[in-house]
Amino acid sequence: MDLQTFLQQFVNALSLGSLYALIAIGYTMVYGILRLINFAHGDVFMIGGYLAFYGISTFVIPWWLAVALAIALTTLFGVGLERAAYRPLRDSPRISIMISAIGASFLIENLAIVLFDARPKAFPVSDFFAANYVFSGVYVAGISLIIPLVTIVLLAVLLWIVHRTKTGMAMRAVSTDIDAARLMAIDVDRIISITFAIGSALAAIGGIMWALKYPRLEPLMGIMPGLKCFIAAVVGGIGSIAGAVLGGLLLGFIELMTIAFLPELTGYKDAFAFVLLIVVLLVKPTGLLGKNQGEKV
Amino acid sequence: MNMSPVLHDTQRRDRMLTIGAALLGLALLFVFDSMFDPFTMQIFKLCAINIILALSLNLINGFTGLFSLGHAGFMAVGAYTCAILSMSPDQKAANYVLQPIVPWLANVHLPFLPSLLVAGLFAGFIGWILGIVALRLRDDYLAIATLGFSEIIRVLLTNAQTITNGSLGLKGLPRYTTMWWAWGSAIAITIFLVLLIKSSYGRAFKSIRDNEIAAEAMGIDVFGMKVLSFTISSALAGIAGGLLAHYLTTIDPKQFIFLKTFDILLIVVLGGVGSITGSVVAAIVVTVSMEALRFLDGPLNLGFMVTHGIPGLRMVFFSALLMIVVIYRQQGLMGTAEFSWASLSRIGLLPKRSSKEAAR
């Protein structure tokens, strides 16, 4: 393998990994606060892609407006999801909350099949995103350049919110101890809603960029990326934003580099993430950057 | 008043009722077998397979309190093992068109029962290995690890062309799953699980579910019991998979995506997590209504408007039902309660005491 091929794969892996990172952040934030795998996060991601598609193709509004609307509506959707499926079960056993999360995901997927039609749709990609740029022999699609940039900007904004604003401080407080936070007069429900809003907005942006990169929409398209990004969050250390980014990038690189160096393993691509998950959980269950939490009796 | 003869009489009455119900059930099976058309029979058989699946998932999720989402994978292992073992060499030659099957499997040709048993044992073996690895994890980590495992199985099945025929799947399997096989297995497994749950093992499982640390303090080998429960559950799922393969007569890796596990989870949750009766009843109700509600996918006349066929509406109904049950009635149909003759007399369907006792 020469340097040029390596760079080509590097660019591809970077853009895929950044996408994974963006979605993984949503998982890690919700898990950090509610100790809940939001199984429906991958479906929120799918909704984002579809809403942008309908904005651009059916309602023929300018793409920037369609994207903004899609992000806003998906955010509302995510907040509504938390209200309807998770809030009523706040004090229930964990197994019930998990079944609710799985049920919500199941319901959204089936609704999507009914509303959006099971047949795949082609996402309209403008020339700007589709065009290939050549840098000393390495081909880079416009979208592959934009994804890492968007991820970096969003990550900076997010870190600013979490570490420099009052809301962010409240989020960290709820994540550390939900009961103590309530005693400190933090409106826990509001903070949870905000967390879901941020996570869903990131998922929507991820979904739209995913659709620009792989322009094919299907009602079940969120499942695999959703699972992989959850794995990325676990590998990085669930609850940690930096961990989610690290895990996402790691997963993107492992996936593409393995295919590049060992093409005969291409068929097993979707299994890498799960093998990585099982290995990491056995060797370092708290993930690469996770804090060790003692077991409570 | 002397209590013991009274108890004795009630016990004897319950035993007579059980034997009577069993005979009635057998007679009904016999009548159904000769009376119903093939389509109804297919649904009836599917009920039995779903009972096994729901019970095996309930053993691990409901009775041992370990949230596993790997059932589709164990079903796939069982289905493929049973199918490959029971196909004749000619059928194999006809199926494996892209690449021939590996030589050591090419001439294996077993009858149905040994194939089914090997399928169960092999799925159990895989479950045992996975259990040793994954049961160190808890709660949602376990759920994701088992889900991931079932996806890994599916990817392996798709790529192991010389063993599983890859994504082409296996076609034209013999239709071995008659009603007697399906219901016979379902009844045998139900009885086995009832006895297991009542045994000291079952008590150990439930104590792990209720409080793992207390169970450990009471001297229960928590990890060993978890692995045992997981192994049994996987083996039963493998048997159900084998029955399913010879019921459908066509299998391919896509059938065993993890959404299949959700279907079973739906039955378990509706019936009551931790109730054998609930799983059996819900398996029958869900299987029958899945068929009965097929009209939802077709054109609908709502009075004020007529819709064209909306494929998928049926599954929306079931997933919405799942959500409603989880949010408003978490215990499902039965909670952790079980059917007994005593419960029938409590609600007044049977006399409180037999007439002989009343006369005394």
Neighboring chain A residues of B273 at a CB cutoff of 8 Å? 95
Nearest Cα residue to A191 out of A176, A170, A177? A170
Q: For residue A61, which amino acid is it?
A: I
Tell me the pLDDT band of A295, cut-offs 50, 70 and 90.
very low
Confidence at residue B303, expressed as pLDDT on a 0 to 100 scale = 64
Domains in chain B (CATH in brackets) are 13-297+306-359 (1.10.3470)
Instruction: Please tell me the pTM assigned to this model.
Output: 0.87
CA B311 to chain centre: 26
Return the minimum-mean-pLDDT range out of A142-146, B40-44, B64-68, B356-360: B356-360
Which residues of chain B does A113 touch, with a Cβ-Cβ cutoff of 8 Å?
311-312, 315
Contact B315 A99 (CB under 8 A): no
Q: Is the CB of residue A56 less than 8 Å from the CB of residue A218? A: no
Contact A267 B67 (CB under 8 A): no
On whether residue A292 sits in a domain, the answer given is no
Q: Is residue A296 part of a domain?
A: no
pLDDT at position A294 over 70: no
pLDDT per residue over B325-357, tens digit each? 888 887 777 777 777 777 777 666 666 554 554
**Which of A96, A107, A109, A264 is the best substitution to test chain B (most B C-beta atoms within 10 A)?**
A107
**Cα B254 to the center of its chain, rounded Å:** 19
Residue A290 belongs to a domain:
no
Is A10 part of a structural domain of the chain? yes
In a domain, A289, yes or no: no
**Shortest Cα distance from A147 to chain B (angstroms)?**
27
Nearest residue of chain A to residue B309 (CA atoms): A114
Q: How many domains does chain A have?
A: 1
Give the whole-number percent of chain A exceeding pLDDT 90: 39
The minimum CA-CA distance between A249 and chain B, rounded to whole Å, is: 20
pLDDT at B178: 84
Nearest chain B CA: its distance from A229 CA (Å): 12
Q: By percentage, how much of chain B surpasses pLDDT 70? A: 91
Distance (Å, rounded) from C-alpha B282 to C-alpha B292? 15
Average pLDDT in the A144-162 region? 91
Give me the residue from A36, A99, A230 closest to B326, CB to CB: A99
Residue A225 is inside which H or E element, if any? helix A223-236
Q: Is residue A295 part of a domain?
A: no
**pLDDT at residue B352, as a whole number:** 59
pLDDT at B358: 47
Task: Please tell me if residue A270 touches chain B, with a CB cutoff of 8 Å.
Answer: yes
Residue A281 has its nearest CB partner, among B137, B155, B273, at B137
What DSSP designation does A263 have?
Answer: G
User: What average pLDDT does the structure give for chain A?
Assistant: 87
Decide: B176 and B86 in contact? Cβ < 8 Å: yes
Asked, for residue A154, whether it belongs to a domain, the answer is: yes
Q: Which residues on B lie below 8 Å from A297 (Cβ)?
A: 213
Predicted local distance difference test score (pLDDT) of residue A293: 55
Is the per-residue pLDDT at B70 higher than 60? yes
pLDDT digit string, tens, across residues B262-278: 889 999 999 988 889 99
pLDDT band at B39 (very low <50, low <70, confident <90, very high): confident
Distances from the Cα of A195 to the Cαs of A23, A127, B120, B233, in angstroms? 13, 35, 45, 38
Distance CA B213, CA B18 (A): 38
A45 Cβ neighbours under 8 A, 6+ residues apart: A23, A203, A204, A206, A207, A210, A222, A225, A226
Given a cut of 70, whether residue A97 has pLDDT beyond it is yes
pLDDT at B56 over 90: yes
Over residues B98-108, the mean pLDDT reads: 80
Check residue A135 and give its pLDDT: 77
- Min Cα distance B297 → chain A (Å) is 10
Q: Please give the residue of chain B at the shortest CA–CA distance from A219.
A: B312
Contact A100 B311 (CB under 8 A): no
Q: Does A262 touch chain B (CB under 8 A)?
A: no
Mean pLDDT on B90-115: 84
Q: Which residue has the higher pLDDT, A130 or A235?
A: A235
pLDDT of A4-30, one tens digit each?
A: 888 888 888 999 999 999 999 988 888
- pLDDT digits over B208-263, tens only? 999 889 999 999 999 999 999 999 999 999 999 999 999 999 999 988 988 889 88
With an 8 Å Cβ cutoff, are A267 and B158 in contact? yes
Q: Which domain holds residue A49?
A: 3-283
Q: How confident is the model at residue A296 (pLDDT cuts 50, 70, 90)?
A: very low
User: Angle B82-B85-B91 (CA atoms, 0-180°, nearest 5)?
Assistant: 110
pLDDT band at residue A3 under the 50/70/90 scheme: confident
Q: What is the dihedral of CA A198, A204, A208, A211, to 10 degrees?
A: 130
Quote the tokens at residue A152: 């970096």
- Residue A257 placed within a domain: yes
Q: For residues A63 and A283, is the Cβ–Cβ distance under 8 A?
A: no
Residue A86 has pLDDT above 50, yes or no: yes
Q: Of A128-132, A200-204, A261-265, where does mean pLDDT reach its minimum? A: A128-132
What value does the mean pLDDT take over residues A167-172?
91
- The pLDDT value recorded for residue B105 is 81
Residue B1 has pLDDT above 60, yes or no: no
**Residues contacting residue A108 through CB under 8 Å, at least 6 positions apart:** A40, A43, A44, A46, A47, A81
Confidence of residue B185 (pLDDT cuts 50, 70, 90): very high
Q: Say which CATH number the domain at A84 has.
A: 1.10.3470
Mean pLDDT for all residues in chain B = 85
